[in-house]
Amino acid sequence: MRFLINQHAAFGARTGIGHYTRELLRALGELAGTDQIDVFPVGLLGRASRIAAKVSRPRGAALAQPARPTLLRRCKQQVLAAARPVERMVLGQLFRWTCRPDRYDVYHEPNFNCYPSDVPTVATVHDLSVILHPEWHPAHRAAAFHKHFATTLRQARHFLAISHSARSEIIRVLGIAPERISCTYMGVRAGLRPLPVSEVAPALARLGMPPRYLLHVGTI
């Protein structure tokens, strides 16, 4: 079969969905066999999208917005907000030209909002926080989600949920038939594994950490 996957979420400073997308592509590349796994965007368009993503999703502490943004930051935010709809429109038109039934059998959207396409579509819905708790998200993200998610609900023939809890929530809130949603747990990268005590102890001592601790990793 011929698959096309939107890799845009993996560009720029990756958060959860970016890592999910990158690792999904890596694993599918190893498991594809005779299947064809292609990504969008690529080439010059892909490089331009990567640059745009780095500008709009800065790394590290820059992700945390100051209480009183400077004039320069406010201007940058306004420019980026104005550019996002144009970027999506251009990418959407190019995507539809690329993702045609004569070229691909399945389109997978790993980040909620599908580009319009006539190819049978599978979409990953990670959670419904932007619907149930829009106050947890930047206003522009919530607005874009509500604008484009309706396309996903109309277009997708099947949905992937990352846990049984998320699957149950999607069924309850969105009213999607249970047989149209599969639970697909996320995998674990090879480097994410328990380390020998001999390797861990020096690092804990250097950081002033106790032998047992709880680490929470969030977006910021």
Determine the average pLDDT of the residues in 138-167. Answer: 93
Query: Is a pLDDT exceeding 70 seen at residue 67?
Result: no
CA 129 distance to own-chain centroid: 14
Q: Are 182 and 160 in contact (CB under 8 A)?
A: yes
Q: Are 94 and 45 in contact (CB under 8 A)?
A: yes
What pLDDT does 80 receive?
55
**Which two tokens mark 177?**
């038939």
Q: Tens digits of per-residue pLDDT, 86-102?
A: 777 888 899 999 999 99
Residues 6+ apart with CB under 8 A from 55: 80
**Which two tokens mark 92?**
């959407």
What pLDDT does 74 receive?
65
Query: Is a pLDDT exceeding 70 seen at residue 83?
Result: no
Does residue 210 fall inside a structural domain? no
How does 187-216 read in b/e, with b if 16+ C-beta sit within 10 Å? eeeeeeeeeeeeeeeeeeeeeeeeeeeeee
Q: Are 174 and 128 in contact (CB under 8 A)?
A: yes
What pLDDT does 203 receive?
93
Query: Is a pLDDT exceeding 80 seen at residue 64?
Result: no
Does residue 215 fall inside a structural domain? no
Does residue 27 fall inside a structural domain? yes
**Which two tokens mark 109?**
């959207």
Query: Is a pLDDT exceeding 50 seen at residue 62?
Result: no
Does residue 214 fall inside a structural domain? no
Domain with 92 in it:
2-193
Does residue 90 fall inside a structural domain? yes
Q: How confident is residue 77, by pLDDT bands cut at 50, 70 and 90?
A: low
Does residue 45 fall inside a structural domain? yes
What pLDDT does 216 receive?
86
Q: Are 6 and 109 in contact (CB under 8 A)?
A: yes
- Which among 141, 44, 151 has a CA at the least distance from the CA of 96? 151
Does residue 212 fall inside a structural domain? no
Query: Is a pLDDT exceeding 50 seen at residue 220?
Result: yes
What CATH number has the domain bearing residue 59? 3.40.50
**pLDDT averaged over every residue in the chain:** 87
- Which among 213, 2, 8 has a CA at the least distance from the CA of 109? 8
Determine the average pLDDT of the residues in 174-182. Answer: 97
Phi-psi region of 55 (alpha: psi -120 to 50; beta: other; left: phi over 0): alpha
| 3-state SS, residue 153 | helix
**Residue 172 burial (CB count, 10 A):** 10
123 vs 13, more confident: 123
176 vs 16, more confident: 176
Q: Tens digits of per-residue pLDDT, 109-130?
A: 999 999 999 999 999 999 999 9
Does residue 78 fall inside a structural domain? yes
Determine the average pLDDT of the residues in 22-43. Answer: 93
Q: Compute the residue count for the chain.
A: 220
Please count the structural domains in the chain.
Answer: 1
Angle made by CA atoms 51, 112, 186, in degrees to the nearest 5 = 90
Dist. CA 105–CA 120, nearest whole Å: 7
The whole model's pTM is what?
A: 0.80
Q: How confident is residue 61, by pLDDT bands cut at 50, 70 and 90?
A: very low
